[in-house]
Amino acid sequence: MTISEATRDQMRDLAARYPKSRSALLPMLHLVQSVDNEVTADGINACAEVLGITSAEVTAVATFYTMYKRKPVGKHHVGVCTNTLCGLLGGDAVFAALSERLGIGSNEPSADGEFWLERIECQAACTHAPVMTVDWEYMDDVTPASAVDVVDRLARGEQVASTRGPVIRDFQATEHTLVYPLDGLVNEGEAVDGKMLVGLRIAQERGMSAASVPAGDAS
């Protein structure tokens, strides 16, 4: 899809927010995905033109970070953590169940274009392992059955709430939020729960605190 002039204006706005304009490249690539569902050649060229760099430089960044896709993601991105803790607690089984349900492997789109499945190295949510995300929103403490149920409900067009955050929207909407975080959804859902705060609670009960920093060593 050709990048529209309105999207180019958004790119210019992003570039103007940074002391060095090329620092805007990451959000600009997310912007491309929010309108094209992937990082397209036209998107790469538009980023290069706005920033005054080569398309090769943009491509180097777009192919380095795994959040940028060079094929259409589809309506929903599903990521399953299979790193050490999640893997030991069932992440591999969750991925296998979703792979069978969708008929695809990692970093592949489903035949109907509705889902993209990906193994994730870490979701930074070990407290609730095994964890998966749908359009980068958390689904905590999943099992093979509950993970497949989430996909089934989304496939039927049902509303699905994330564990900690807003109702699942779609991949492109989340990509837009990564560019413009003030989307009005910050207070939706619970950000933390008792399981996440148990360490803090125990420390408070035992009168524990972090070591103080000696004067002059604050740096």
The confidence score (pLDDT) of residue 55 equals: 97
Distance CA 181, CA 165 (A): 13
Distance CA 109, CA 102 (A): 9
Domain boundaries, position 168: 76-179
- Based on the structure, what is the number of domains in the chain? 2
The b-or-e profile of 122-160 (16+ CB within 10 A means b, else e) is ebebebbbbbbbbbbbbbbbbebeebbebbeebbeeeeb
Beta strands in 67-184 (DSSP E): 76-81, 108-109, 115-120, 132-134, 137-139
Is 211 exposed, middle or buried (CB count within 10 Å of its CB: 0-12, 13-18, 19+)?
exposed
Taken in order 86, 107, 157, 138, is the CA torsion positive or negative?
Answer: positive
Q: Are residues 53 and 83 in the same domain?
A: no
Instruction: Return the HEC string of 12-44.
Output: HHHHCCCCCHHHHHHHHHHHHHHHHCCCCHHHH
Q: Are residues 50 and 96 in the same domain?
A: no
- Residue 199 falls inside a structural domain: no
Per-residue pLDDT of 93-147, as tens digits, reads 999 999 999 999 999 999 999 999 999 999 999 999 999 999 999 999 999 999 9
Q: Are residues 37 and 97 in the same domain?
A: no
- List C-alpha distances in Å: 132 to 110, 119, 178: 17, 9, 18
The answer to whether the CB of 193 falls within 8 A of the CB of 44 is no
The confidence score (pLDDT) of residue 92 equals: 96
Q: Are residues 45 and 134 in the same domain?
A: no
Q: Are residues 35 and 124 in the same domain?
A: no
The confidence score (pLDDT) of residue 199 equals: 87
- Residue 138 falls inside a structural domain: yes
The confidence score (pLDDT) of residue 175 equals: 97
N-terminal to C-terminal alpha carbon distance within the chain: 48
Long-range contacts, 14-17 (Cβ 8 Å, 24+): 14/179, 15/50, 15/51
Token pair recorded at residue 124: 């930074």
The structure's pTM equals 0.88
| Apex 68 CA angle, 114 and 71, nearest 5 | 45
The confidence score (pLDDT) of residue 2 equals: 84
- Residue 19 falls inside a structural domain: yes
Q: 95: how many CB neighbours lie within 10 A of its CB?
A: 27
H or E segment and range at residue 151: helix 144-155
- Residue 139 falls inside a structural domain: yes
Q: Are residues 54 and 92 in the same domain?
A: no
The series of mean pLDDT values per 10 residues for the chain, 219 residues long, is: 92 96 97 97 97 98 96 97 93 98 96 96 92 96 98 97 93 96 86 84 90 71
Cα–Cα nearest to 57, from 90, 19, 29, 92: 29
